[in-house]
Structure 1
């Protein structure tokens, strides 16, 4: 539903930043489906590309460079959305590489903004309640990009790898620095040192920075059905203290891909219980969480999405209080 103007409440804004083919759209899709399209607006800031694909081929920079994007218009539109105002958003068609007719976007209760540069400027970052950066290992991201761009965008593997090489300096200069501005850094990757059977979902590591209030996950780890003990839940998820890139200690939540559905369900149920009655009324279809399209489902993805839903609903609840 559209957030009524003058109600004193604004949309809850979530940013999901990351490099090309980092998994932003997959993560966003489950959130929209679970909360319902009638309550959530999804915006891709890659639509603010200044040039189409043909024009970019003659430029000395790639789509990752701020000069290749209308950053000033993006900032203005993010401010309007955060205040509950509609925007006329440009549209970039990834399948053709063309800029097409703009579309009217009206913010609903929740707004997810995903793309390459949503956290690039201070003004843009100020618009968000929750910020996320997707940080898969580069070899894994490269394989995802080759698979996607060859299947959906008409490239050859050689063309994709050449473009990745061309983009690398700008990834290092403009995309990866956004990581330091995220409340949550998510990395999907295999567990180092394990030889899991083919088809095992990737595990997830989530750095939970103290810039927002996270749910008390110690309760999740300590709880479990009678007779299972805490170790059963810790198989699915556990917290460890890590050193962030700046040397500061930060909680790292590990969600392993090799857990059984029964074990992961313990964790999902516990997070839902943290939401209380809000979960039953706000989440239209929790069963869609963790879906990977044709590649099946992933419990680490589902739990990651559920944690983000917690933050969205918690921020909305705080506004209403």
Structure 2
């Protein structure tokens, strides 16, 4: 009889916008190059808003838990955990809704799930084997967000500041920061914390070795 395929390992990486969670996720991915590994961004699972007008779409609070199709994300993760492929949605930032396209995604031995609210829903939290919270000061996060949104997304300085003050910062303190208590590991200063990243990747290598991978 052939050996039953081992359940994939899921690492959840969360933190506020601009905290460095994407950098940490990419660093783990790079350190484990050559292994069977993938990154899933929670942003991919923003709600399908095709039935809404553009004005309505732009008015959505994208830092609120209800902005995400968490049921679909959980369903897809369970399929991957069962070593089944999924049709991952594609989100269009220019259209503020889900694209008609999907990406066929095969399961991997290691899945890194990164996003601002992956520890908010207990159903999602319970699927994560290692939970990481990237903890970065508010002032550093707003500076990073200004740089990113102005350069990469063509936003004006005033629009970035207005959004930060009206939704991003309040939602961080209401929904995101409280999930820090669920984290197994808290990483200060994001991707610059090479010691934390080394510890994480060493732990993952040990788990994979135990599974014979």
Q: TM-score, normalised by structure 2?
A: 0.86
Q: Distance in 2 between matches of 1:155 and 1:51?
A: 23
1:119 to 2:119 alignment = yes
How far 1:182 sits from its partner (Å)? Answer: 0.6
Cα deviation, residue 98, structure 1: 4.5
Matches within 5 A, 1:7-22: 7-22=4-19
Higher RCO by CA contacts (8 Å cutoff, separation 6 or greater): 2
- CA-to-partner distance for each residue in 1:214-259, whole Å, 9 max, x for gaps? xxxxxxxxxxxxxxxxxxxxxxxxxxxxxxxxxxxxxxxxxxxxxx
Counterparts of 1:253-268 in structure 2 under 5 Å?
A: none
Partner residue of 1:172? Answer: 173
Deviations 1:7-48 (A, max 9, x none): 341111100011212112111112222212651111001111
CA contact (8 A) 1:28 1:112 kept: yes
Q: Any unmatched runs of 5+ in structure 2?
A: none
Equivalent-residue separation in structure 2 for 1:132 and 1:32 (angstroms): 14
Q: Shift of residue 96 of structure 1? A: 6.2
TM-score, length basis structure 1: 0.59
Deviation at residue 113 of structure 1 after TM alignment:
0.5
**Alignment pair present for 1:129 and 2:21:** no
Does the aligned pair in 1 maintain the 2:47–2:97 contact within 8 Å?
no
Return the alpha-carbon distance in structure 1 between the equivalents of residues 201 and 63 of structure 2: 28
SS of residue in 2 equivalent to 1:14: strand
Match of 1:311 among 203, 208, 211: 203
1:181 aligns with 2:182: yes
Aligned position for 1:256: none
The 1:66/1:164 distance shift into structure 2, 3 A limit, reads same
